[in-house]
Chains A and B, each alone.
Chain A
Amino acid sequence: MKLIRSTPSSLGRVSDFDEWFRHPFAGLPSLGQFFNNLSEVFPGVPGDRLAVDVHEDKDNYYASFEVPGVKKDDVKIELNNGLLTVSAEKREKNGDNESSFSLTRSVSVPDGVSADGIAAKLEDGILNVTLPKAENRKPRTIALS
């Protein structure tokens, strides 16, 4: 027989994560709504928030952000109070004119991510951030002796 240990907080973990994503501008729901509508009408307008995918396996969470045309040096990733914020500065050259605008997206990181192990890679315009789950938060099976 196997027992899977679970703590109340880990039970709530995924749904917490989900809830946050449904309200990416949790403090500013009306603003979030505004941006959502705006990007439907004008896809890709400057000021648009970065699109993100989040996956999970037993060891890590993976967040992928779309940042076409952004150089490695123009990406800033910050973890502050359980909030992962990605800011990307996009520079566009048009003849002699150069314009730039920044794109930002914050996602709530569940408890139990080991902050020291967060790694990021930029490839073909996609920024992949890997957030390792802390050892003591991984599901574990306890063998009954």
Chain B
Amino acid sequence: MNATCAPRSTAPATSGVTESLRKPLYNVSGSAEAYEVRIEMPGVPKNGVKIDLEDNILTVRGERTVNVPEGMKALHRELSPLSYLLRLRLNTPVDEDKMNAKLEDGVLILRLPIKEAAKPRQIPVL
């Protein structure tokens, strides 16, 4: 998939253009091995997803493509055309190289493996 992970990219300069974005619904679950983040982003195609991890802040953007063909008239509107933005602060270091993401039926599923050093370990008593 087209998700890019730029672990140490320079922060983008704040542009003068104000853009309306909304926070998607999401769910985080986890085990001792990894976190799983599920983000609902209906209407976002694969190439509209951008994932960044920098300074333990995970940023997920989903560009929603609205293609209303010519000559079409809206009779009723409830769906928001706004794109999605979610920022999550991670309090456990994750292994950036082993992160993976897939987009399934409008839901982005991110798997963030926890770094070896941060996993709980058993210390045997001698």
Contacts and interface: CB of A to CB of B under 8 A. Distances in A.
Interface of A: 14, 17-18, 21, 43-44, 51-58, 61-62, 64, 66-71, 92, 94-95, 122, 124-126
Instruction: Place the interface of chain B in its size category.
Output: 20 to 34
Contacts of B71: 57-58
Interface of B: 25, 27, 29, 31, 38, 40-45, 68-69, 71-79, 103-107
B25 A66 contact: no
A68 B108 CA distance: 10
A15 to B, nearest CB: 10
B25 A43 contact: yes
Contacts, number: 86
Interface of A is mostly: mixed
15 contacts: A14-B75, A17-B75, A17-B76, A52-B78, A53-B74, A55-B68, A55-B73, A56-B72, A57-B73, A67-B105, A69-B38, A94-B29, A122-B105, A124-B45, A126-B43
B105 A55 contact: no
A125 B105 contact: yes
